Amino acid sequence: MSEETSIPDNFDDFMNPSPVMESQKDKSEKETLEDRFSRERLQWGGKIKGMSGKLRKALDVAELMTEVYTERQLALEYYHYLISLLIKLNKRYTKSYSDKYKFYKYESQERIPNDKLIQIRINSELQDIKEKREIFDNHAKFIDGTIKTIDNIIFGIKSRIEVEQIARGK
């Protein structure tokens, strides 16, 4: 008789089997999320470089003025969209953490001696959600920095116009 499946030793492992560490679908989803954010960071970097390049020539400043406000608004809307997704992830994480803490503290047949060990176990189980939270948080910080850079370009337009007027003798 071959023993392909084994019966767990304790009740908790039998009733709540530990999930498979990481399925191929989850791994490809994370890579896709990371790749997408990486691609978007490159796109926003290219937009900033393009706007900075237009700041060099006085003739391009008029076109830059319309572009910079449009791009700033797009970045601002995208930032708030990312924050709304991060809020949902945080809510899901908090709910899962609370449920697991309650389970390990009061309902589990396994005795865990202190809260620190319970926290370590829960954090290891919720690692996927925590990783997504960190990825979204990192990308949101990047977009926030991009918005600040666009604000600096807006300030630079004013300075560039003043320098051009001084050069023309006005």
pLDDT tens-digit profile of 46-95?
Answer: 999 999 888 887 777 888 888 999 999 999 999 999 999 999 999 999 99
E strands, the chain, in order: none
Helix H or strand E segment including 140: helix 127-168
Helix H or strand E segment including 17: none
Q: What is the pLDDT of residues 94-138, one digit of tens each?
A: 999 999 999 988 888 888 888 899 999 999 999 999 999 999 999
Q: What is the pLDDT of residues 139-158, one digit of tens each?
A: 999 999 999 999 999 998 88
pTM exceeds cut of 0.85: no
How high is the mean pLDDT of the chain?
A: 83
Q: Nearest to residue 74, comparing CAs of 52, 49, 43, 50? A: 43
As a whole number, mean pLDDT of residues 5-20 equals: 52
Query: Each residue of 68-95: b (16+ CB within 10 Å) or e?
Result: beebbeebeebbeebeeebeebeeebee
CA 162 – CA 143 distance, rounded (Å): 29
As a whole number, mean pLDDT of residues 25-41 equals: 77
Domain boundaries, the chain: 43-168
Q: Is 49 or 1 the better-scoring residue by pLDDT?
A: 49
Give the pair of three-digit tokens for residue 144.
Answer: 């926030």
